[in-house]
Amino acid sequence: MNLKIDLLFKIINLPEIELKNEKIGKLVRETLPIILIEKLIPETEIKKLQEDNYSKFTFDMNYPILKKIDTKLSILENRMTKDHTRYYAEVFKNGDDLYLITSEWYERNLEDYIKWMKRKVKV
C-alpha cells in the first residue's frame, strides 16, 4: 500500500469543516505534490491548472496553479512571473513533465481548493 496515497485519501475524506482549520499553503504542499507524482488527476486537468482563466475561475487565483518547467531556464527563472517569485522552488514530476506549484495561496482560496480536491482527485 502506498503511504502517500493513504495519507491523501485520509485528508480528502476528512469532513470539510475539519479541513477548513488547515492553513492553505500547508494543505497544498501536503496534497498537490502527491496528486501530481501519483498521477491522480487526468492530463486534461493538468493542462487546465496551467491556465490563468481556469485558476482564476476555479480557485480565485491570480496565477496558474501549475507551471511547466522550461528546461532551458534555471529554476529561479522558472519561478519568476513579472520580476517576482510566484512558485515554490520544489519541482514535481508528472509523467515526463516537471512542474512548479504556485506559492501565491491565501486563506480565501482554501474552500475552493478543498472542493476541487474532493471533486477531481481519484484515490
pLDDT digits (tens, 9 = 90+) for 93-102: 999 999 999 9
Is residue 123 predicted with pLDDT exceeding 80?
no
Which pTM value belongs to this model? 0.91
| Full residue range of the structural domain in which residue 42 is found | 3-120
Under 8 Å between Cβ of 63 and 80 = no
Q: Which of 91, 107, 94, 88 is nearest to 45 (CA)?
A: 94
Which residues does 111 contact at the CB level (< 8 Å), separation at least 6? 16, 20
As for how many domains the chain has, the answer is 1
Mean pLDDT across 82-89: 94
Question: Which tens digits make up the pLDDT trace of 29-70?
Answer: 999 999 999 999 999 999 999 999 999 999 999 999 999 999
pLDDT at residue 16, as a whole number? 87
